[in-house]
Amino acid sequence: MERIIEPDSLQLSFSRTVPHLVLASSSPNRKALLEAGGTDVEVFVPLTDEERKGSDPVDIVSGIAREKILAYIRSSSYDPDSIAIAADTLVLIDGKLLGKPSSEENARLMLESLSGRTQTVISAAGVKLPGRDAVVITDTADVIFRVLDDADIASYIATGEWNGAAGGYRLQKTGYRLVERIDGDWTTVVGLPMKKILDFIQEQYN
């Protein structure tokens, strides 16, 4: 997989439709994803319980995204005239959640388990448009890893990008080198299903 250096057509289309928004998330990756296309992003950090509750992954990720957007709507920072988006993401392999590695050794074991295999990424976005009720939008993408040898894994761990990253890698940095292909929207893998969000917003205003 090649690195996306310049904003792609999705990011540019998104920024033309949404030149400004409130991002109810502390994620620098989601903020950078939006800003790359030209969207002006105002960050609100929601104080919510992000404990993974329940058994269905889509329900889990949707519930957290919903709580984040509602936390913003209830806050004194709420601007009813601005579009607001919150998000949450889960990574699964063999139906089991992949968390964030707690150490370099844990990251190494995680990447070994992903080598040559397919993982599923589920991202949910809570979206609040002016004059409309908040909704939750979900999307799923499959990420197929290359077969990694010990040198590949050691080289990636040395970057430190594994730290704080679900699945132990960051696609938008040098983690793209670990990936053979993505079946689905790459922005969903980064943590914000931009295509589905854009489709929804355009449907509402057309």
Model confidence pLDDT, tens digit, residues 171-200: 888 999 999 999 999 999 999 999 999 999
Distances (CA, A) of 178 to 166, 167, 170, 184: 15, 12, 10, 17
pLDDT 10s digits, 67-122:
999 999 999 999 999 999 999 998 999 888 888 899 999 999 999 999 999 999 99
pTM (2 decimals)?
0.89
How do 135-145 and 179-183 pair as beta strands? antiparallel
- pLDDT greater at residue 166 or residue 52: 166
- When the pLDDT of each residue in the chain is averaged and rounded to a whole number, the result is 92
DSSP-derived secondary structure for 135-185:
EEEEEEEEEEEPPP-HHHHHHHHHHTTTTT-GGG--TTTTGGGGEEEEES-
| 88 annotated active-site | yes
Give the model's pLDDT for residue 3: 62
Q: Is the pLDDT of residue 201 over 90?
A: yes
Q: How confident is the model at residue 2 (pLDDT cuts 50, 70, 90)?
A: low
What integer pLDDT is reported at residue 10 of this predicted model? 93
Q: What 3-state class would DSSP assign to 82?
A: coil
First to last CA, the chain: 35
pLDDT of residue 51: 66
Q: How far apart are CA 100 and CA 107, in angstroms?
A: 8
Selected catalytic residue, list 8, 81, 88, 150: 88
Is the per-residue pLDDT at 39 higher than 90?
A: yes
Instruction: Output DSSP code: residue 86.
Output: E
Question: What percent of the chain clears pLDDT 70, i.e. is strictly above it?
Answer: 94
Amino acid at 25: S
- What tokens does 164 get? 């704080």
Name all domains of the chain by residue range, CATH numbers in brackets.
9-205 (3.90.950.10)
